[in-house]
């Protein structure tokens, strides 16, 4: 009886001793948000604007980025600008970071959030698609991190990596996407270890999300998934809080992401069958 009780007391103490988030933490901070023309990235840009950050956003569609930047200025951003281009091109990924150096004079937070288009259905065997998706969803994250590290070391800043439940446990119907998200965990969790060893004070927050109500996700999976989609604006705010508080990992929402993942090591087959039970399998094409 005593051991579980002590465990509960320790857990309570740990959580109550944690620093709480205040919007001022991000006021005046220089932040890059990738994939910010729509979805969760767009919502992160608006939250940052309300908090008074300097924002540099990127994606491919210039007309959408222009509108997001205008809105950010109306909402009170310290400054807001965009660069359009594709993350298939590593030179472009590096160029975005250099722009932060030139126009913001440094960087406090790098939010890696963009995601390339993939399909929802049985794996079709297209190796070329996996290579392309790895470039967009994984290699460009690495390229931006490498370019940004000198600035982040100087500011003792943060890297925020937006991932998914599909990057922690096998998910059917998104095989190429899941592969890229698992790769992010491997790279950034290993890099975090080296930062500890080398006393590099740059935090890495890996964000584990469930189903979120962005247009892309609803279009791809609303008809097939049996779980409700969580609101993207709330999700965006939780990601920013996790980054500002320098969490190792951020689970949004805890009950539907962290708790099931506790089964991974002790009851993996149960977890996998729980994942499969979330789909209306009769609505998936035969592939």
Task: Please indicate whether residue 247 is annotated as part of the active site.
Answer: no
The correct pick among 27, 38, 129, 134 for binding ligand NDP (CB under 6 A) is 38
145 is a site residue for ligand NDP (CB under 6 A): no
The correct pick among 81, 100, 109, 113 for binding ligand NDP (CB under 6 A) is 113
Which one from 177, 247, 251, 252 is the annotated catalytic residue? 177
By beta-carbon proximity to ligand NDP, the closer residue of 154 and 215 is: 215
By beta-carbon proximity to ligand NDP, the closer residue of 106 and 170 is: 170
Whether 248 contacts 193, CB under 8 Å = no
By beta-carbon proximity to ligand NDP, the closer residue of 27 and 60 is: 60
Residues in the chain, how many? 287
264 is a site residue for ligand NDP (CB under 6 A): no
- Binding track, positions 158-197, relative to ligand NDP; x by CB under 6 A: ----x-x---------------------------------
Stretch in the footprint of ligand NDP (CB under 6 A) among 18-26, 57-65, 148-156, 270-278: 57-65
79 is a site residue for ligand NDP (CB under 6 A): no
Q: Where along the sequence are the contacts to ligand NDP (CB under 6 A)? A: 35-41, 59-61, 64, 86-88, 113-116, 136, 162, 164, 209, 211-212, 214-217
Could you list the active site residues?
A: 177
């Amino acid at each position: 009886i005593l051991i579980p009780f002590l465990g509960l007391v320790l857990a309570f103490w740990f959580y109550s001793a944690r620093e709480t988030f205040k919007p001022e933490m991000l006021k005046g901070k220089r932040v890059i948000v990738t994939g910010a023309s729509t979805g969760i990235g767009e919502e992160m840009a608006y939250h940052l604007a309300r908090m008074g950050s300097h924002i540099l956003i990127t994606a491919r569609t210039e007309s959408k980025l222009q509108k997001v930047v205008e809105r950010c200025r109306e909402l009170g951003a310290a400054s807001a600008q965009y660069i359009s281009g594709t993350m298939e091109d590593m030179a472009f990924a590096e160029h975005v970071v250099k722009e932060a150096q030139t126009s913001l004079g440094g960087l406090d937070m790098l939010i890696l959030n963009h995601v390339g288009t993939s399909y929802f259905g049985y794996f079709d065997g297209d190796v070329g698609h996996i290579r392309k998706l790895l470039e967009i969803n994984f290699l460009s994250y690495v390229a931006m991190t490498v370019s940004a590290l000198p600035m982040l070391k100087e500011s003792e800043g943060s890297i925020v990596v937006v991932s998914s439940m599909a990057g922690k446990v096998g998910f059917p119907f998104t095989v190429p996407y899941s592969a890229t998200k698992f790769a992010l965990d491997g790279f950034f969790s290993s890099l975090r270890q080296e930062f500890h060893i080398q006393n590099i004070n740059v935090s890495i927050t890996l964000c584990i999300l469930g189903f979120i109500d962005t247009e892309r996700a609803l279009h791809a999976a609303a008809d097939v998934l049996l779980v409700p989609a969580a609101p993207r604006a709330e999700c965006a705010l939780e990601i920013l809080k996790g980054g500002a508080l320098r969490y190792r990992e951020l689970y949004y929402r805890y009950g539907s992401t962290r708790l099931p993942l506790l089964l991974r090591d002790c009851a993996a087959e149960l977890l996998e069958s729980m994942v499969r039970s979330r789909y209306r399998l009769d609505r998936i094409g035969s592939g």
